[in-house]
Amino acid sequence: MLKEVLNDSGKAFLLGNEAIARGALEAGIDVFSCYPGTPSSEIGDTLSYACKKLGNFVMEYSVNEKVAVEVAAAAAFAGMKGMAAMKHVGINVASDALFSLAYTGVRGSMVVVTADDPSMHSSQNEQDNRWYGVSMKLPVIEPSNVQEAKDFTKFCFELSSKYEIPVFLRTYTRLSHSRGIVSLSPLPKKKFEKVNWVSDPKRFVVLPAHARKLKVELLEKIEKISSVFSRWDGNWIENGDSKFGIIACGLSYTYVKEACENLGIDAKILKISSPYPIPKDLIFDFLTEVEEVLVVEEVDPFLEMQVKALAKEEKLNVEIHGKDVLPSNYEYSISIVEDGIAKLLKKESVRNKANNLANLAPPRPPIFCPGCPHSATFYALRKAVNELLNEGIEVTFTGDIGCYTLGINKPFSAIDTCICMGASIGIGCGFSYVLKEKTVAIIGDSTFFHAGIPPLINAVHSCRDLTVIILDNSTTGMTGHQPHPGTSEFGCGEGEVVDLKSIVKGCGVTFVEEVNSYNVDKLKEVIKKAIMEDSVSVVISKQKCAILRRREAKAKGKKLRAYKVNNEKCNLCMKCINEFCCPAIYFDGEKIRIDPVLCASCGVCKRICPEGAIEIT
Ligand SMILES: Cc1ncc(C[n+]2csc(CCOP(=O)(O)OP(=O)(O)O)c2C)c(N)n1
């Protein structure tokens, strides 16, 4: 629980992400920065809470992951303790800084949390960020339970400080979002105090001449760390009674334990919590004691390849398996691991039935919330493009990542592409070169600040014919309502609000109009006008996220007044259901009704009803 994160000692029932935050607090963190993204977001939300309560460290929700890493790195350059957290794809954004940070190293300590998402519960891809460890030459630590999540975070700070190197802590959805009882250590009594900068350009200015020397030092550091990992108690061997061994990493370790029990086998197990650099000596010892080994790890054969390479290098006579009997995609489960082991040992798998029961749950695809301003924007957009289509003007939609990606669904069908944050405008620039249709790029406010500004400048500079609709709901909605530069908070206090419209104008856009999203008639007209422009046009569709409106009303003791249908006037044309699709409006078989509990009082249904049959209660 959030409050328990600040307990002085004893035990607490924590979410994996809360445990990571607690680990950072126990380590005495000075500066924390993040950009939200599932499954990492609660690390930032917990440290934002802790920062306001403790006041002995600083934190910010940065504009994007690259900036987050740079902010934390600056603290570590100055001899302090910095940590940055993000989802796996955030590391792609931050990677430019990270590759060179590996060279400079740090004076204090720096931990970078990468939250991977096997099975893509809430992500556009399933990239395995352990590879970043190899290519950047940065250590990767991977916990397998909530206690380890806390303890290993602390360990990452210690390792980073000792070897003056940034360290990755790799978590993943199933750990970040599960709860467990965690034994706490006391929080250090510390103050936050500024320090003086000690200049060392040979280290912190990566000119080629400096970088060449730093690269050699980096290789030496990583070699040393590999031997440290062979002695670290986060990696260990469990002796079994057979010549069959299993090497397991992360959550797979816990699956392996149960799968072996279910199958009644007593395998030797090597638990690896440092997938990079691998503890070579420990793995060597393990391989010499077995004849056949199965490497169990989610997603890529990352350890498997390294173990095979080591066995070949050392000319060991051992058969190594992994992805030949286990899948390279999606999360594992006890039954998947059990099947893999059984297949290899030619045993009958005693399948765990829980997974099959999960399949019985009815599918519940995500939908816009009642009163979501994005529904109103997509309603107006769909109306606008239908009217333009009648005039022979066709439109393509480039989408972006956020709640508004749901505009892909019927009846709006207004997302043709979605790749990564900011790509709506970048792909829109490209489409405007090659497509006959007009292009509309749809992007959220947080996403615009994160990655939308450079492509907008690009569009203006290269004279593109492109309409950009910025959906400004004054929050980073999809990840849990974190602040962004367009809002008044920055994580640890009140900040300066950066005006979206001024930025758009500052990028050189001359057609910029801001419209209340709920004013669907005006919005439709403005969108049509914007699309008909032959240059870059920007429409800012502005209205606070309905969940926040509801919360604010509640906090002020105000009750939102629900709308209702006057069934005398309603002629069952179904436009409110078929064209607007508000989850609060339904047809009960005879009449259209509005669920007063769900209604968020946006009033859009009243505006669009041709019969004037919707009234405020
Ligand atoms: C590089 C990267 N970082 C973070 C995320 C997680 N993420 C998905 S959408 C989004 C922002 C959503 O906010 P906004 O653009 O304001 O749209 P809203 O959800 O409020 O409609 C974030 C942070 C991501 N997909 N990629």
CATH number at residue 127: 3.40.50.970
Q: What is the separation, in whole angstroms, between the first and last Cα of the chain? A: 39
Residue range 88-96: average pLDDT? Answer: 98
Name the pLDDT band for 446 (thresholds 50, 70, 90): very high
Residue range 403-421: average pLDDT? Answer: 97
Residues 467 and 485: their CA atoms lie apart, in Å, by 23
> Which residue, among 302, 305, 353, 346, has the nearest Cα to 325 in the 3D structure?
346
Interval 172-185: pLDDT, tens: 999 999 999 999 99
Shared-domain flag, residues 147 and 290: no
Shared-domain flag, residues 171 and 282: no
Residues in the chain: 617
Shared-domain flag, residues 311 and 402: no
Q: Whose CA is nearest to atom 20 of ligand 1?
A: 477
Decide if 265 is inside a domain: yes
Residues 581 and 375: their CA atoms lie apart, in Å, by 8
Ligand 1 and 401: CB distance under 6 A:
yes
Interval 17-31: pLDDT, tens: 999 999 999 999 999
* pLDDT score, position 223: 97
* pLDDT score, position 442: 98
Shared-domain flag, residues 121 and 13: yes
Residues 305 and 102: their CA atoms lie apart, in Å, by 23
Decide if 84 is inside a domain: yes
Name the pLDDT band for 351 (thresholds 50, 70, 90): low
The answer to whether the bond into 277 is cis (omega within 30° of 0) is yes
Residue range 160-176: average pLDDT? Answer: 98
CATH of the domain at 278: 3.40.50.920
Ligand 1 and 332: CB distance under 6 A:
no
Shared-domain flag, residues 424 and 300: no
Decide if 112 is inside a domain: yes
* pLDDT score, position 348: 80
* pLDDT score, position 353: 57
Write down which residue in 553, 581, 605 finishes a domain: 553
* pLDDT score, position 194: 98
Interval 493-551: pLDDT, tens: 999 999 999 999 999 999 999 999 999 999 999 999 999 999 999 999 999 999 999 99
Shared-domain flag, residues 298 and 383: no
Write down which residue in 292, 324, 353 finishes a domain: 353
| Count of domains forming the chain | 4
CA 439 to chain CA mean position, Å: 28
> Which residue, among 317, 292, 188, 203, has the nearest Cα to 242 in the 3D structure?
292
User: Which residue segment(s) compose the domain that 310 sits in?
Assistant: 236-353
Shared-domain flag, residues 69 and 111: yes
Cβ contacts of residue 358 below 8 Å, gap of 6+? none
Name the pLDDT band for 354 (thresholds 50, 70, 90): low
Shared-domain flag, residues 591 and 530: no
* pLDDT score, position 41: 98
Interval 362-384: pLDDT, tens: 888 889 999 999 999 999 999 99
Is residue 137 within 8 Å of residue 219, measured between CB atoms?
yes
Write down which residue in 504, 520, 553 finishes a domain: 553
* pLDDT score, position 302: 98
Among 63, 114, 446, which residue has the most ligand 1 atoms within 8 Å of its CB, making it the best to mutate?
Answer: 446
CATH of the domain at 601: 3.30.70.20
Choose the weakest-confidence range: 116-120, 236-240, 353-357, 466-470.
353-357
Decide if 195 is inside a domain: no
* pLDDT score, position 362: 84
User: In this structure, which long-range contacts are made by residues 505-510, counting pairs with CB atoms below 8 Å and at least 24 apart in sequence?
Assistant: 507/453, 507/456, 507/457, 507/460, 508/457, 508/460, 508/461, 508/536, 509/456, 509/460, 509/536, 509/537, 509/538, 510/535
pLDDT above 70: residue 356? no
Shared-domain flag, residues 289 and 140: no
Mean pLDDT of the chain: 96
Beta strands in 252-357 (DSSP E): 268-272, 292-296, 319-321
C-alpha gyration radius of the chain: 27
* pLDDT score, position 381: 98
Shared-domain flag, residues 141 and 222: yes
Shared-domain flag, residues 49 and 153: yes
Alpha helices in 533-568 (DSSP H): 546-555
Decide if 193 is inside a domain: no
Residues 221 and 199: their CA atoms lie apart, in Å, by 22
Residue range 198-227: average pLDDT? Answer: 98
pLDDT above 60: residue 171? yes
Shared-domain flag, residues 398 and 527: yes
Decide if 10 is inside a domain: yes
Atom of ligand 1 nearest to the CA of 36: 23
Is residue 178 within 8 Å of residue 51, measured between CB atoms?
no
Among 42, 66, 123, 421, which residue has the most ligand 1 atoms within 8 Å of its CB, making it the best to mutate?
Answer: 421
Residues 597 and 409: their CA atoms lie apart, in Å, by 24
* pLDDT score, position 246: 98
Q: Whose CA is nearest to atom 6 of ligand 1?
A: 37
Decide if 368 is inside a domain: no
Among 476, 541, 547, which residue has the most ligand 1 atoms within 8 Å of its CB, making it the best to mutate?
Answer: 476
Q: What share of the chain in percent tops pLDDT 70?
A: 99
Atom of ligand 1 nearest to the CA of 64: 3
Decide if 44 is inside a domain: yes
Name the pLDDT band for 361 (thresholds 50, 70, 90): confident
Q: Whose CA is nearest to atom 5 of ligand 1?
A: 37
pLDDT above 90: residue 355? no
* pLDDT score, position 352: 57
